[in-house]
């Protein structure tokens, strides 16, 4: 599967397919279903300094071709994640990308500092785009100056490369991407969920206890494709693309838009074996179509000579 | 072990208004060892509906690799499921969660099984297993109305069976708790599945020393990875302690989780 080998800042991946943060916990449950070592990497659930219970239930609602979630960053807190979850996950031969969240700059900095010192963590994913918490989260992801400042602060303390996860809930995604690039980001992951709502016709009230939630799944794929297409032409940062991926065709589309790797979120719920299946199928597709390397496709939609657009030596 | 299998529909029939009994066949049945666990069904191979639907295992026939579910066709997913015919296939993930502990009831003891609406189905396999174990079972089944009631006879074959309906068209008029009072029902252990309001009322009755309840919550993954189905514990009702209904439950000892 050398066609799939992918190098990104801090990450040497067997293949470019990984589960997205929040859709895979810390890997324990899925480890009972298949060998996690087949994955390109694992993006673990958002970690905050203190343990969080998250929002009241219902926390999920189905939508046409998608779902809303308002989990509210439930997690056992920095100490347990670094002390138990990450060391446990390290038994698998798979790079760990730690998703860092907080409600103020100091929280992010503290989590980033500690978690990046774990010998098992290869990169951070800075979650400045969670729509489901009252403070922080999305605020950092919608104001370019704030995002840049936060990225800079986190970069100062992180021992590993920092990927910033962009929110689609902005009118100018390129501006956000450039701001975090200026702040020193090593890469981008995009997109997080789109803010949405559903109303229960019987009660006349929102289905989610939190009222609003983040939309994910196939329904958001065109938004992700458009944003990656725009951003990849305007920054030199590698992009890990996500948003509605459930087939090999989806992955090809993300690459052609400008992605250098991909993450699969919601699709893990419909089919918990989706990641290993896609890894096999993508390799078979490349062989069948005589494509030497998956990265040959990156940016094909806008890059006329179809050359690799991103190299990490 | 949790498996995913395309199982074959052996039969599907309507047994009450909008209530269907669906029997599937496949190897996955060999993994079904406990009453009260559930399966997560994908009703078609498409993006709509996107998510799986959690449905309880109502009865297990391992010798013939079959199991039966009983469900209400209500929304998009369950309505599509109701269209399945013998020979069709269904994408099943399971068995999931932890079921009712039958070893908590000793032979010779009496167990009271209280179900409400679509919470009734998992009690059927439970009752069969308790009876095999020499535990006497009493069943109290609550429904909205007689036209949505089901399995009264099947439960009657296993032990005393009482019905309660909100409109009084079958059995006691009112709730299951009204039937329990009316007949002054006593038991050593309680097993229950149904709406939270019913479970709460039962908890308040302190009918038995020991009891186990099965909860419902909207789910994402169904296997414990997404934190969609989380509830607080009674020890720490506003703190960060939690249980996941899908993987720690859906069955919990009475008093463990905050209702
Ligand atoms: C552990 C468990 C066991 C269950 N066992 C049974 C059973 O044996 N028989 C039966 O009829 N029903 C059972 N249910 C309820 C059943 O899952 C819902 O009725 C069903 O998911 C509704 O799907 P729909 O397509 O009709 O509705 P839609 O409105 O289309 O559903 C939309 C979304 O909401 C979810 N949802 C809606 N209502 C419920 C609910 N009450 N509980 C959980 N999720 C819900 C759906 O799963 C789906 O994700 C069980 C639920 C749980 C959690
Ligand atoms: C239930 C759920 C929980 C999520 N939790 C997180 C999280 O903790 N941190 C984060 O950065 N993104 C989180 N996300 C967003 C996903 O990582 C991903 O960006 C988004 O869902 C789009 O991809 P998808 O359409 O493949 O799911 C979550 C998504 C879902 C559905
Ligand atoms: S449904 Fe995902 S954790 Fe329970």
DSSP assignments along A167-211, one per residue: -S-SS-HHHHHHHHHHTT-SEEEE--PEEEE-B-TTTSSBSSTTS
- CA closest to B3 among chain A residues: A33
Q: Is B92 on the interface with A (CB under 8 A)?
A: no
**Alpha-carbon Rg for chain B in angstroms:** 18
Q: Which of B210, B194, B16 is nearest to B114 (CA)?
A: B194
- Interface touch B225/A24, C-beta < 8 Å: yes
Beta strand ranges found along chain B (DSSP E): 3-16, 19-25, 38-42, 53-56, 59-61, 66-72, 89-96, 110-116, 136-143, 160-165, 172-173, 189-193, 210-214, 230-232, 242-244, 251-253
Handedness of CA A118, A121, A126, A132 (dihedral sign): negative
The reported pLDDT for the residue numbered A113 is 98
Output the six-digit token pair for A79.
């100490």
The reported pLDDT for the residue numbered A130 is 72
* Cα dihedral A150/A155/A157/A160 (nearest 10): 130
In this prediction, the residues of chain B whose per-residue pLDDT falls under 70 are: none
**Alpha-carbon Rg for chain A in angstroms:** 18
**Mean of per-residue pLDDT scores for chain B:** 97
Who's near A7: CB < 8 A, 6+ residues apart? A13, A312, A313
The reported pLDDT for the residue numbered A306 is 52
- Interface touch B247/A29, C-beta < 8 Å: yes
The reported pLDDT for the residue numbered A303 is 86
Looking at the CA of A54, name the nearest ligand: 2
In short, whether B112's Cβ falls inside 6 Å of ligand 1 is: no
Q: Which atom of ligand 2 is nearest to the CA of A216?
A: 25
Burial of A157 (0-12, 13-18, 19+ CB in 10 A): middle
Q: Whose CA is nearest to atom 39 of ligand 1?
A: B218
The reported pLDDT for the residue numbered A313 is 36
Nearest to A57 among B42, B76, B217 (CB): B217
- Looking at the domain A6-54+72-194+217-297, which fold is it? TIM Barrel (3.20.20)
Tens digits of residue pLDDT in A222-263: 999 999 999 999 999 999 999 999 999 999 999 999 999 999
- Interface touch B228/A59, C-beta < 8 Å: yes
Flag whether A21 is marked binding: yes
- CA closest to B42 among chain A residues: A270
Pairwise CA distance, residues A74 & B228, whole Å: 10
Q: Identify the three-state secondary structure at position A277.
A: helix
- Interface touch A62/B51, C-beta < 8 Å: yes
Using a CB-CB distance cutoff of 8 angstroms, which residues of chain A are in contact with residue B93? 272
The reported pLDDT for the residue numbered A133 is 66
Closest-CA distance of chain A to residue B158, Å: 36
The domain limits of chain A are 6-54+72-194+217-297
What's the angle, vertex CA A273, arms to CA A268 and CA A279, rounded to 5? 100
Which residues does residue A6 pair with via DSSP β-bridges, in sequence order? A13
Q: Which of A42, A40, A38 is nearest to A12 (CA)?
A: A40
In this prediction, the residues of chain A whose per-residue pLDDT falls under 70 are: 1, 131-138, 305-313
> Beta A6-8 vs A11-13: how paired, if at all?
antiparallel
Pairwise CA distance, residues A5 & A28, whole Å: 25
Q: Which atom of ligand 2 is nearest to the CA of A125?
A: 11
List the end-to-end C-alpha distance of chain A, in Å, as a whole number.
Answer: 20
Where do the domains of chain B lie, and which CATH numbers do they carry? 3-96 (2.40.30.10), 102-214 (3.40.50.80)
The reported pLDDT for the residue numbered A140 is 86
Rounded to two decimals, the ipTM of the complex is: 0.94
Q: Is B221 on the interface with A (CB under 8 A)?
A: yes
- CA closest to A274 among chain B residues: B4
Where does B1-120 have alpha helices with state H? 76-82
Q: Is A65 on the interface with B (CB under 8 A)?
A: yes
């Amino acid at each position: 599967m050398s066609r799939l080998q992918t190098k990104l800042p801090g990450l040497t991946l067997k293949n470019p397919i990984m589960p997205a943060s929040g859709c895979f916990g810390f890997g324990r449950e899925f480890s009972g279903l298949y060998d996690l070592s087949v994955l390109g990497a694992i993006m673990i659930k958002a970690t905050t300094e203190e343990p969080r219970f998250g929002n009241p239930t219902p926390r999920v609602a189905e939508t046409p071709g998608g779902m809303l979630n308002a989990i509210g960053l439930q997690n056992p807190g920095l100490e347990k994640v670094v002390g138990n979850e990450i060391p446990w996950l390290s038994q698998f031969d798979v790079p760990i990308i730690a998703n860092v969240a907080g409600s103020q700059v100091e929280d992010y900095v503290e989590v980033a500092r500690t978690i990046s010192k774990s010998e098992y963590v290869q990169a951070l994913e800075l979650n400045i785009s969670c729509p489901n918490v009252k403070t922080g989260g999305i605020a950092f992801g919608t104001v370019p100056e704030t995002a840049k400042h936060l990225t800079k602060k986190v970069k100062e303390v992180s021992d590993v490369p920092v990927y910033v996860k962009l929110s689609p809930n902005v009118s100018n995604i390129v501006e956000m991407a450039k701001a975090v690039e200026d702040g020193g980001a090593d890469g981008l992951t995009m997109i997080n969920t789109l803010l949405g709502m559903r109303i229960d016709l019987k009660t006349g009230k929102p289905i989610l206890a939190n009222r609003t939630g983040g939309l994910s799944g196939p329904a958001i794929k065109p938004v992700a494709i458009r944003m990656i297409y725009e951003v990849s032409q305007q920054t030199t940062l590698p992009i890990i693309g996500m948003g509605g991926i459930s087939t090999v065709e989806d992955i090809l589309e993300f690459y052609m838009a400008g992605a250098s790797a991909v993450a699969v979120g919601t699709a893990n719920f419909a089919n918990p074996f989706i990641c290993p299946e896609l890894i096999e199928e993508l390799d078979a597709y490349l062989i069948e179509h005589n494509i030497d390397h998956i990265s040959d496709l990156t940016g094909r939609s806008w890059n006329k000579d179809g050359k690799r657009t991103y190299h990490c030596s | 072990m949790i498996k995913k299998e395309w199982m074959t529909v052996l039969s599907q029939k309507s047994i009450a208004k909008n209530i269907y009994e669906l029997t599937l066949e496949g190897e996955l049945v060999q993994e079904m060892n406990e009453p009260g666990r559930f399966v997560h069904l994908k009703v078609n191979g498409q993006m709509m509906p996107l998510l799986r639907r959690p449905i309880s295992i109502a009865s297990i026939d391992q010798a013939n690799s079959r199991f039966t579910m009983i469900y209400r066709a209500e929304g998009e997913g369950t309505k599509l499921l109701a269209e399945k015919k013998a020979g069709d296939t269904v994408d099943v993930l399971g068995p999931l969660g932890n079921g009712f502990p039958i070893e908590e009831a000793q032979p010779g003891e009496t167990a009271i099984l209280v179900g409400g609406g679509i919470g009734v189905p998992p009690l059927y396999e439970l009752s069969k297993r308790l009876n095999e174990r020499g535990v006497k079972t009493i069943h109290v089944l609550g429904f909205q109305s007689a036209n949505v009631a089901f399995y009264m006879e099947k439960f009657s074959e296993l032990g005393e069976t009482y019905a309660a309906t909100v409109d009084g068209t079958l059995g006691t008029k009112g709730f299951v708790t009204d039937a329990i009072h009316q007949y002054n029902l006593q038991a050593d252990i309680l097993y229950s599945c149904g709406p939270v309001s019913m479970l709460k009322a039962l908890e308040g009755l302190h009918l038995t020393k020991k009891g186990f309840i099965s909860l419902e919550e909207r789910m994402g993954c169904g296997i414990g990875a997404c934190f969609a189905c989380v509830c607080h514990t009674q020890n720490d009702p506003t703190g960060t302690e939690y249980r996941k209904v899908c993987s720690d439950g859906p069955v919990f000892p009475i008093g463990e989780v905050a209702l």
